[in-house]
Amino acid sequence: MHTEHAASDEAEVILDVDEATTAKIVGKLETIRGLIDAGDTNAAMTLCDEVLTSPNLPVNAGVKLGLLIQEIGQTDIADVLFETTYAKIKAVIHRLENPERALLPAAEALADLGYFDEAEILCRKAIAKAPDNLTVAVGYTAFLVYRERQADALKVAEDYLDQAQSAFEGAIHFAMIFNHLAVPDAARHCLKKAEKACKTKTQKAKLEFFLASDGMAKTELDQHGMAVELFDQFAKDYDKQLEKLENNGPSMIFTALEDLQLPKKKSRRVLDAGCGTGLCAGFLRPYAKELHGVDLSVKMLEIAREKGGYDFLARTDLSQIVTYPEGKFDMIVCADVLDYFGALNTVLANLNQILTPGGWLLVTVEHESDTSIPRGYKLYPSGRHKHSDDYMVKTLAGAGFPKPKLLKHARLRNEFGLPILGTLIAVQKPALMFG
């Protein structure tokens, strides 16, 4: 198990690994969780053995792996893993200095092992060293909530917000965190702090957006401006953040194209609708004689242009048909975009209008499993909507599409360490009929 990157016995110890490796390990742990839930403990244990022998297994991931092995029933193996991990942490605990890459992972592992007092000592040390580090503040907050110390958790959040460069953005972020941790009073408190820190119309719109996700009324005040500001701010670190979340949206589109076995003849006019920084460009190129990318955010488009891969890039609002590129398209993909819309009738009708007869539309949405939601979609504290399968099929039909050729579910991304289920839909527009 990976425990340090230092050569000297007294050198500073780093307990985590790079983000890409961490994302892969988290993905495997999710797969193990799914296999256990499905009752396939043999396959789950085989994958556990694979993860267990990973050369760069962080201590916090190692403990979570042990908990899964324990659930499978291999308690002897789990106990050895727990004892080994605890001994390794204790051996270097006096050399843990880095708040995010050493103190926090060790605290998480100790908490999972049940050593709560020792874990809190490390959390306090981490926040004292880095009071302006959002990851550390969120980690300590989550620990306190899990210990049912909501007031202390809110105090950590408030201390962070008091010195944050952007009190508004920080307050919105902690409101999302507390909503996720099921502490609604603390979430509302943070939203009130965000309201006091509002300085622009788009910030006001963003606040109302999150108020709506908490069940409160919102207006349509500059929602367009809010979306532009949100994605422009996100553009620079977009790929890095999606890697950290182990984003699977583009992969779902890629897998669907392979399943459909569409010929790769570079014969189509292809539209990547909501292309962002260009994550789909590489695997779309073999299908395209012309590859167009459109997005609402100019900064996202600038990054996509720097990467190359598209023949044409343009700023487009998918809800406004007049902003679309001219002409028809033979294939349209829409990965991780429709989550930011509620009702999809207008967008899907627009996409149908510019799709050639016989052309393909492939989209991903977050899956809404709650059948009691009357509209078939719901806004969540993440700022994204989830859409039910029934809603998607009916709305596609209303926009002029037939029954989907593919409709399947898979993990779309992670949110606060938990998998978010997505829906992939592939539908073909009816071809023109003669005679």
Q: 162-196 pLDDT, tens per residue?
A: 888 778 888 888 887 787 677 878 888 888 888 88
Mean pLDDT of 36-59: 87
Mean pLDDT of 322-335: 94
Q: Does position 222 have pLDDT exceeding 70, yes or no?
A: no
At 37, list the tokens. Answer: 């839930």
If one counts every other C-beta atom within 10 angstroms of the C-beta of residue 1, the result is 18
Chain segment 342-399, per-residue pLDDT in tens: 889 999 999 999 999 999 999 999 888 888 888 898 877 666 788 999 999 999 999 9
pLDDT score for 249: 56
pLDDT score for 220: 42
Residues 226, 194: Cα–Cα separation, whole Å: 15
Residue 239's pLDDT band (boundaries 50, 70, 90)? very low
Helix (H) or strand (E) holding 88: helix 75-92
Residues 220, 351: Cα–Cα separation, whole Å: 23
* Of 136-140, 185-189, 209-213, the least confident: 209-213
pLDDT score for 10: 57
Average model confidence (pLDDT) across the chain: 82
The residues of the chain that CATH labels 1.25.40 are 1-130
Mean pLDDT of 92-106: 90
Q: Where are the alpha helices (DSSP H) in 114-270?
A: 116-129, 134-146, 150-163, 167-180, 184-197, 201-213, 223-234, 238-244, 249-260
> What topology is assigned to 1-130 in CATH?
1.25.40
* Of 73-77, 91-95, 97-101, 236-240, the least confident: 236-240
**Is residue 355 a contact partner of residue 329, using CB atoms and an 8 Å limit?**
yes
410 versus 268: the higher-pLDDT residue is: 268
The domain 239-428 is placed in CATH, from the list 3.40.50.720, 1.10.645.10, 3.40.50.150, 3.40.718.10, at: 3.40.50.150
Residue 415's pLDDT band (boundaries 50, 70, 90)? low
The residues of the chain that CATH labels 3.40.50.150 are 239-428
